[in-house]
Structure formats: structure tokens, C-alpha cells
Structure 1
Amino acid sequence: MPLALILIIGIFTLGYLAIIAEHTLKIDKTAPAIMSAVLCWTVYILFAGDLIAIETLPAWFLEEHANLDQEALIHTWVGEHQLLSFLGEIGSILFFLLGAMTIVEFVDAYGGFAIITDRIKATSTVTLLWMIAVLAFFMSAALDNLTTTIVMISLIRKLIASRQERLFFAGMIVVAANAGGAWSPIGDVTTTMLWIGGQITTLAIVKSLFLPSLICLLVPMLYLTWSLRGQTIHPPQAMPYKQDADQVTRHHRNIIFTVGILGLLFVPIFKTVTHLPPFMGMMLSLSVLWVVSEIIHHRADYDDDTELHITRVLKRIDTPSVLFFLGILLAVSALEATGLLASLASTLDESIGNINVIVFMIGLMSAIIDNVPLVAATMGMYDLSVYPTDAPMWEFLAYSAGTGGSCLIIGSAAGVAAMGMERISFFWYLKHIAPLALMGYIGGAVFYQWVY
């Protein structure tokens, strides 16, 4: 293996270890992700002459740059064609996420999610658990698993006084949110990546993964229905009343909630009708919500410094997460550009052979390793000419990467959010929630393989 490829693998591995050890090193995972991306591409372009043969370049590219010498030609191919081509694909994912995150922040700023959460009241542990889990399952399909987890944990804080009871509910919210996000093109970052990349389509993924994802939730829920029967929760002595956000009227809150949710649901329809990239539909939905909020803001004479204004909403966007996706996806694209992922795919096919077993293992690995780079790597390993759009392999990958991360608290964005909000320890989750999540993951996987 050429020295350049060894260096790239080494840089990517060290960067990945730094991401996994984020809490130990006290360094945000975004920094090593961006650093490894830049270094991988730097090594690639510096040693590109040893990795790329001129005769392998497309004829149109050679004709277009016929005036360049061999070294300049290779550098132009890597820096101006390969890198920018990957950046275009990655950019469509990032703009989609930015639009979705802004819409969610808008709705939250106006207190819109209270329309859903304030209607849930129960004292039976099993009844409340079913209500919370089912709501999280469907909410994450319309929003995303991370947002759903944050909203639902905020809800159970108002409904459950005991922290131990709350921890258990938070763990099941993670399982439900991840299961719900797997069958929707906007429910999980990895499913969104496959959707934008052309590996899956909206109707096909909903049709194929709804039942497996539902079974992934039902298996642990049915077990808990039996094991927790007769138990009751302990609500807070004084149920806090949630005031409308700042000075927002109920009418304005309902308008923003309706426009925001319909805007998110409109994105798949926009892509189907226009065939434009999904981020264009998301930007259209954001612009409509923006205009509506400005009209409300000025007609109601809200203060320009209020948290409801677009400038304040944009400041609350989780920019480090967006930059993390940029870094990790660029780093993975370097592995794809150099042919390392294609070689890995060949090795896996030769050693394991069964693509379903490989994808199932990827799902389990996503509990340890972030599922975003795993899916990005898999997308680079297997070509659409071999596994076309809506092939069972891509659908099973969406299920596995979306739900497998529930097996550990660090395996998904939803799990990490719950870990931070309720201070759930790694080993507590491993003991109480991981076996339930694994049961559901295996149940849904077996069902998918049996049916499809």
C-alpha cells in the first residue's frame, strides 16, 4: 500500500479516536473532525501523482485542460473537480440541516411544541410510557430524533418527579425517537443523507421501514408493559404552568407551529414534484415561515430584541454540529476519492459475503461509532450501479444505522442529548435500556429480512 494511503488512514483513525474520546480529552468532536478532513485532503493532493494515473482521468477533463502539464493536471483534478464535487453533495446536506434546525428553533421560540406536550396527562407508568413512546415515534418522523428527544424530555420533567423514573422514560424516548426517525427521510441525519444521495426515495422508505421500525419499538414496549404492570408514576407536587413564550399570543403560537410543521412535511412533496434537491424545498419552507414570523412580529409590535426575532433564533442554531458533519463527511469523502472505501467493500464482500450481515453489523457498530461517518463510508463503498435506488440494501442500511445506535447511550445524537439533559450515565443505560434496545433492533431487522 502506498505511503500516502497509510498516512490518510492513520490521520482518519486518529481523528476518529479523538471524536470517540471527546469527553475524556475535553475537546469538542468538531475540532478533530475538521482537522482530519483538511489533513486527509492535503496528504491526498500532495501525493496525488503517486495515486492517480493520467490515463484513468475522463477524456472530457483531459481535453478541457490540455494546456496543463501532468502534475498540474492531477492537482486540478483533485482540488477543483473531486473536492468541489464532494463539497456540492455535502453542502446540500448541510443546508438542509440548517433550514430544518432554524424552523424547529422558530417553532420552539414561539412555544409551539406546547400544543402537543401540554395535552399529555397520565398516572399509570405503562399508560404514560406508551403515550410518550408513540408520540416520540411519530414526532421524530416529522421533525427529527434529536429535536424530539429534547422536547419529550422537557415534557417528562413536568410530569414525573422521581429522577430514577425519569431516567427510564428518557432512555425509552431515545429508543422511540431513533426508531421513528429511521422510516422518514427527514427523521434522522443518516436517512436524510441516503435520501439526498439518491439511494432511497420518500414513498419507498416509508412503505418499507415503517413496520420494521414500529416493531423495533413494540418489542421492548410489550416487554415493559408486562414487567411494569401496576406501577404508578410520582408527579411533581405543583405542576408548573408553561407560560406562552415571552409575549406570544396563543393565536400567533398556533400559526407558527402550523406553518413550521407543514413546511417540514412539504419538503418531500417539493422534491417529488420539482426533482430539485431537498434543501431547496427546505429553504422555501424556511423563507415562508420567516415571512410569516416577520408579519406577526411587526403587527403585534413585539420588541426587536425579543427572542422571537430571526436574529436571535439564528444564534441558537447548533453550529458546531453542522461543522462536525462538514468535517466528518469531508474526511470520509477523502477515503472515497482515494479508492480506499471501494477496497474495503471488496474485502468485506470476500470475507463475509452476505451484504445483509454486513449492514446488520454496521448498525451494531453505530452504537459505538457515530452513524454519520458509517453511513457516509457505506455510501462510498457501494455504488448505485450495483445497488440501485430503493434497493433493499439501502433500506436496510437506513433501518440499521437509524436504530442500532440506541443500543448505547453514545450511539446517537438523541442518546447524547438525553445523556446531557438528564445526566444519564453510560453504565446505567447499558444495564437498563441497552438490552431493550437490542431486542427491538434484532426484532425489526428479522422482520425486514423475513418480509422484504
Structure 2
Amino acid sequence: MTTVLLILVALGFVSIVVEDLVHIDKAKTTLFFGSFAWVLFFVAPPGGLSQDQLMESLNENLLDIATLWLFLMAAMTFVAYLSSKGIIDALVNRLLPERITERKLMLMTGLFAFLFSSMADNITATLVCIAVLANLRLPPKKLLRYVVLVVFAVNSGGTALITGDVTTLMIFLADKVEIVDLLMLSVPAACAVAVLAVALSFGLKGEVVIQKDNTPITRGDKVIAILFFSTIIGTILANVFFSIPPVLCFLFGLSLMFMVVQFMNKDEPILDYIRKIEFDTLLFFLGVLLLVGMLKQLGILAYFPKLYDIMPPVAANYVVGMVSSLFDNVPLTAALLNSGIDMSLPEWLTLTFTVGVGGSLLIIGSAAGVVAMSKVEPLTFSSYLRYFPFLAVAYTFGFFATLGLGMLIHG
């Protein structure tokens, strides 16, 4: 049965890759294979698991899914409101000139995504960046380059902060690195984003003309925009000082938005914005997380600590980062921490970088990539894969820059 379940999981991931060939929406196929695997998991449980153990495994997986689902729903509703009210357009009008070269826009996109993801979570940063790019009305082929950079940049932005990436927090709580050491990661991570931005800029010679819209923003919409960014900041602070899960803060922020709009404009059908979010994105997330959860239950991730028995820690860290583009980096990091691996500080820093950024190598390797693939029609597994050489170069540059900086400071 373990073999059968692994085959179903593999088919689920393959269905994403061949979406362009079979013309079946990836949300449908991943949900089918993910739910089917869990059904068989209950029908013929591997290892003779009891009913209570099966339910515990399922409930644990569903809790992770529900947390991400609700968070994504809240963030997407906020962004849907801001976009429909023209606030995203107004942001573009204020930040960008009427004309900007495509190369300069590439660098600005990478910088904005990197900095914004340092303050916000990857999902929110991705949604906002894609909304901004969509309003520029770029040709599909050029839009792909910018979205690829966004995925890499938002994954890179949170690696240096314990609030920016769960794996960074896990490594910090395990007393493997200190806050000061982590802050150093922002330098090589930002350099890696710059390397990718320059690489993706090759061949871009045109200009982007931005249509300025001077339509004033109403006082109510300004209040909602401030509330959105206050929710982001409040989520970070509440998590740092009170360990409040981000999903609770975002749901509270969403409820505040509903109440504020209700009292400021009773005729505004505020709940309709929930219907405007792309539920195929949520279904795709559900399918992918069911597949990843099954891999976790089958204990596949437990084999990766053995890499450190057959290769040096530095090389193993590099490989683990690439592996995290296929597997959820949270259980993968947990498996490595629980294995008792002994590494120096520079080596732990490289692991922090690789598990945080390595998911960018494939579009299905991170939440940012999954969201981007669901929001940008030209972005598919195969179209993203074309940029793998550029991504690999940036990832490798950031890896060795992190190692070198760690060795320079800590000898």
C-alpha cells in the first residue's frame, strides 16, 4: 500500500507538470489524487495503524490546510477589494514614473518584493506584487520574467527574520543560530535577488509606459488600505510578542474591514469580495497540501538526514535546498533538526538560506509559487522551468555568499 500511495502522490505532481498537454486544470487533478491517496490510507493503512492514529494523522494535516486556506482567503479578499477600488493602480502611479525602462523595472520589482516580504508573509507579498504587475499590462512573455523574480524575491526576503519564514524560526528556536547571525543573511539573500534580476533583464530593451490615473481615492478606501497594512504589521508584532498565529490576526483584520465598510458605506456589498477571489487557487492549495501531507505520513522525509552521512554538510545543505523545491520545507527542516546533525554556524546559516530559498527553484516548491501559478495564466510548471538555469545560478550565488560571509565573520 505504501508503494501505491507513493505512486498516487507522484501522479498528482506529474499532473501539474503535464497540465499544458492534457488540458485538465491542476486544481482538479491535485485534489483528485490527494484525496484519493488519503481515502486509500484509511482503507488499507500501511504499518497497521489504528483508527485513532489514522484520525490523528488526518486531523493534523487538515489543521495545516485549514490554517493556510483561511489565511489565503483573508489576504486574497483584502487584495481583491484594494484592486477593485483602484488602490493598487494608485500605488503604481505614485511609485513609478510615466516611463521606465524594462531593466530598471526588473530591479525595482525584485527590491520591492524582497523588502515587502520581509515585512509581510510570502502569500500577501506575492498577491500584492502580482496585482501591481497585472496593472502594468505587460506582454505575457515579459510578465513571466517579472513573476519568476517575484517568487524568488519573496522567498528570499523572509530568510533573515524569524517572523519571515517558519524554517528560519525553527532553526533559531533550536539554538543553532542567533538573531545577529540571521540578520547577516539579508545581505547574500538580497545579492542573490539582484543576480537573478540582472540575469532576467538580458534581452529587455524596451520601456514600460504607465497610464497615469488621477482618480482620487475616497476617504473610506484610504482607511481600508491603512487597515490592510496595519493588519500586516500587527500580525508580525502579535506573533513576536504574544505568539498569536498569523491566521487569527488576518481574520480579525478582515472582520474589521467588514465592520468599517458597513458603518462607512452601508450600500457596499462588502461580502461579495469573498466571491471574487479565485477559488481554484484554494482548491489547488488543498490538493497540493494533501499530497505533501501524505509524503509526511509515509515518512519519506526521514531519509534525508542520511545525506549527511554520505556527503559533507555544506554539500548536503545545498542538495537539501534543491530537494525543498519538491517537498514541504517545514517537515524537512524538522526532520533535519531532530536527527541531531552537528554543523558549524556557517553551515547552519547555509541551511537556513537553502530551505528558505530552495523552494523557488520549482514553481510548486513554495506557497509563493503556487499562488503565482494560480493567479497568472501564462505561468505553468513548464514555463517556469525554462528559467531554472537563472534560478539555479542565483540560488548557488546566494548559497556560497552565505557560506563565505559566515566563515569571514565566525572564522
TM-score (norm 1): 0.71
Query: Secondary structure of the equivalent of 2:87?
Result: coil
Partner of 2:247: 279
Larger Cα Rg: Structure 1 or Structure 2? 1
Q: Where do residues 213-362 of structure 1 align in structure 2 (5 Å cutoff)? A: 213-221=189-197, 233-236=206-209, 240-242=211-213, 244=215, 249-298=217-266, 303-304=267-268, 309-342=269-302, 344-350=303-309, 352-362=310-320
- SS where residue 151 of structure 1 aligns? helix
Determine whether 1:48 maps to 2:24. no
Deviation at 1:426, TM superposition (A): 8.1
- 1:110 and 2:70 matched: no
Aligned to 1:139: 116
Match of 1:375 in 2: 329
Mapped contact 1:332–1:377 kept (Cα < 8 A): no
**In 1, distance between residues paired with 2:207 and 2:61?**
52
The one-letter amino acid of 2:80's match is E
Deviation at 1:107, TM superposition (A): 2.4
Using the alignment, how far apart are the partners of 2:115 and 2:47 within structure 1? 51
1:108-257 to 2 correspondences below 5 Å: 108-119=83-94, 120-121=96-97, 122-141=99-118, 142=120, 144=122, 145-157=125-137, 169=146, 172-180=149-157, 182-183=159-160, 191=165, 194=167, 204=179, 207=183, 209-221=185-197, 233-236=206-209, 240-242=211-213, 244=215, 249-257=217-225
CA distance in 1 between counterparts of 2:294 and 2:86 reads 42
Query: Is contact 2:83–2:131 with CA below 8 Å preserved after alignment?
Result: no
Kept in 2, the 8 Å contact 1:150–1:418? The answer is no
Question: What is the alpha-carbon root mean square deviation over aligned residues?
Answer: 4.0
Cα deviation code 1:242-288 (max 9, x no counterpart): 365xxx84323322111101201211211222223221222222222
Matching residue's letter, 1:107:
L
Once the two structures are superposed, residues 367-390 of structure 1 have per-residue CA deviations (whole angstroms, 9 ceiling, x without a partner) of 6x4xxx4425525644557479xx
CA contact (8 A) 1:140 1:177 kept: yes
Q: Of 78, 82, 86, which residue of structure 1 is paired with 2:61?
A: 86
* CA apart distance, 1:131: 2.9
Q: Distance in 2 between matches of 1:209 and 1:153?
A: 27
1:290–1:310 Cα contact (<8 Å) kept: yes
Displacement of 1:448 in angstroms is 2.0
Partner SS state of residue 277, structure 2: coil
Aligned pair partner of 1:5 in 2, 6, 17: 2
Contact residue 149 and residue 418 of structure 1 kept, 8 A? no
Q: Structure 1's 357 and 321: CA in aligned 2 closer, same or farther, altered over 3 A?
A: farther
Deviations 1:330-367 (A, max 9, x none): 3333333343432x2355344x4445434423443566
Conserved in 2, the CA contact under 8 Å of 1:387 and 1:393?
no
Identify if the C-alpha distance between structure 1 residues 185 and 31 changes in structure 2 by more than 3 Å, giving closer, same or farther: farther
Q: Which of 379, 398, 401 lines up with 1:447 in the alignment?
A: 401
Tell me: CA distance 1:7–1:84, structure 2 relative to 1, closer, same or farther (3 Å): same
Specify every segment of 5 or more residues in structure 1 that has no aligned partner in the other structure, as ranges: 53-73
User: What SS is found at the alignment partner of 1:310?
Assistant: coil
Aligned residue identity for 2:14 = L
Q: SS of the counterpart of 2:244?
A: coil
Which amino acid letter does the alignment assign opposite residue 212 of structure 1? P
Report the CA distance shift for 1:123/1:414 in structure 2 as closer, same or farther (over 3 A): same
> Which is worse superposed, 357-366 or 132-141?
357-366
Moved more, 327-336 or 415-424: 415-424
The structural deviation recorded for 1:118 is 0.6
Q: Which residue of 2 aligns with 1:69?
A: none
User: Normalised by the size of structure 2, how large is the TM-score?
Assistant: 0.77
Deviates most, 43-52 or 111-120? 43-52
Alignment deviations for residues 170-218 of structure 1 (CA, whole Å, 9 cap, x no partner): 554554444335556787xxx45x479x5667x9597354223201112
CA deviation after TM superposition for structure 1 residue 151, in Å: 2.5
